Structure 1
Amino acid sequence: MTTFRDLHRSGLLILPNAWDAGSAAVVRSLGAKAIATTSAGCAWSLGWPDGDALPVDRAVAMCADVVRASQGLPVSVDFEGGYSDDPKEVADNARRIVLAGAHGINIEDGGGDPALLAAKIEAIRAAVGPSLFINARTDVWLAGLGEAAGRPAEALRRGVIYAEAGADGLFVPGLTDADGIAEVVAGTNLPVNLLAFPGLPGAAELERLGVRRLSAGSGLSSAAYGRAASLAAAFLKDGDSGPMMEGALGWGEMNAMMPQG
């Protein structure tokens, strides 16, 4: 059986992040090897802002729904900052996510003190054991820490701290230049995860550079909401039904993707 961890050992794992159970079913139907969620998209779908604002109960329920819609594919949950600054509470929250069926999580430092994220990772690992894939996200680029030239070294410094705490992967959103990517990949033993971003090389080049995971993040959900907003605005203006059918998945096609029972 191929585990979620195995998918990071070679090649490039491409994850078109889902934002609810329905989008997970669509992604599954397209042949994805695993399902990953986007915290922003999931929060928006439930009427909450991104940024550790979603109540943990809702995050756990969302995980369970996505797991059901994924029909046996490994599921990785965007766990934000763990929904607490208390490592024990974060570990308790992670245990609930694992019980809901998650095989992996992303957990982020927000560009803050790496010691806090390391403490959270250590607590999670102690609580749930070795099987959960913990993808440590460092926001060195997203938070604009330091001079651009020094960011790969800072990301690697943090990666060492997170690996020692028990992380299995290093997620570096915002890193897009080939030289920086090569430096980060060469400087860590963890599989490197990048985020779809303007200026990022294509999949073939990323694989050549040694990147092991590429995530759409909130991109697909943002695009879907943008398309819905455009169509809704036009419909409010003139009531024309035609544009809504352009490029739409049919009722029967969508219904057939949903698991029964």
Structure 2
Amino acid sequence: MDVTAFRKLHQDRAPGDPLILPGPWDAASARAFAEAGFPALATPSAGIAASLGYEDGATPADEMFAAVARLVRSVADFGIPVSADLEAGYGLAPRELVARALDAGVVGVNLEDSGPSGLGDPERQADRLAEVRAAADGALFVNARVDTYVRGVPDLDETVRRALLYVEAGADSVYPILAPPEHLPELCSRIPVPLNAVSHPDGPSPRELGQLGVSRVTFGPGLLWRAMSAVKAVAEELR
């Protein structure tokens, strides 16, 4: 499936029927989700980091791109598109970042607007997203992550301000990670592109997120943690 078809998966979602994108952390988990019939996948950087033995945010770029490429190859025979969480871009220039993403075989990328020192300048991030979009020439679906909530700035208006800058720069969707459920309807009404929300066990279900206006649901590393709970249970049984 090409990027055009991937974009169409995000459009005109009925309330309560968001695009659900499981987050595989390696080739085996990707094939499991593909065999279950999901139309697309979205890798979580934290999940891949954990599978490679790194803390979240500490995976070297070469290892991240290699892991993503293996994952993409593992589902190639299913024709399933994969989007990759590339954190803040690993310090790569936009053209190189795009080239490496396309070489890995992905049709979409997540790019976040914060780093080790906290939230970044939104105008600078918008400029960077515009450069990424130009370098990709339409070949990548750009999901712009807004880190206000995860960075302790739970301001709805600031979240919308950043989101609109990123939309103007060409973002295909916006991801206000960890936005509280009560903020989602207004965020969806004020941001004119599909909204991505993260699902976690203590929050609304994917269907409930869709009823709040969300078009796309991802899981971060949550599915890996659930799998590891099962592995730990097996380990205890064997011990």
**TM-score, shorter chain, exceeding 0.5:** yes
Among residues 121, 135, 146, which one is paired with 1:127 in the alignment? 135
CA shift digits 1:79-108 (9 cap, x unpaired) = 111011x6x2x4312321112211000010
Query: Where do 4+ consecutive residues of structure 1 move more than 6 Å?
Result: none
Cross-structure match for 2:69: 64
SS at match of 2:100: helix
Distance 1:35 1:211 in 2: 17
Cross-structure match for 2:111: 107
* Structure 1 position 234, deviation (Å): 5.1
The total of aligned residue pairs comes to 227
Distance 1:177 1:193 in 2: 12
Distance 1:93 1:54 in 2: 15
Cross-structure match for 2:170: 166
Distance 1:116 1:23 in 2: 36
* Structure 1 position 207, deviation (Å): 2.3
Of stretches 54-63 and 209-218 in structure 1, the one that deviates more from structure 2 is 54-63
SS at match of 1:5: helix
Cross-structure match for 2:19: 13
Task: Tell me the C-alpha RMSD between the 2 structures.
Answer: 1.8
Alignment of 1:78-227 (within 5 A): 78-84=85-91, 88=93, 90-110=94-114, 111-145=119-153, 148=154, 151-178=155-182, 180-197=183-200, 199-227=202-230
Unaligned runs of 5+ in 2: none
Q: What percentage of aligned pairs have identical amino acids?
A: 39
Cross-structure match for 1:254: none
Unaligned runs of 5+ in 1: 239-261
SS at match of 2:144: strand
Distance 1:195 1:165 in 2: 23
Cross-structure match for 1:242: none
Code of the residue aligned with 2:135 in structure 1: it is A
SS at match of 2:6: coil
Distance 2:121 2:43 in 1: 25
- TM-score (structure 2 length as normaliser): 0.88
- TM-score (structure 1 length as normaliser): 0.81
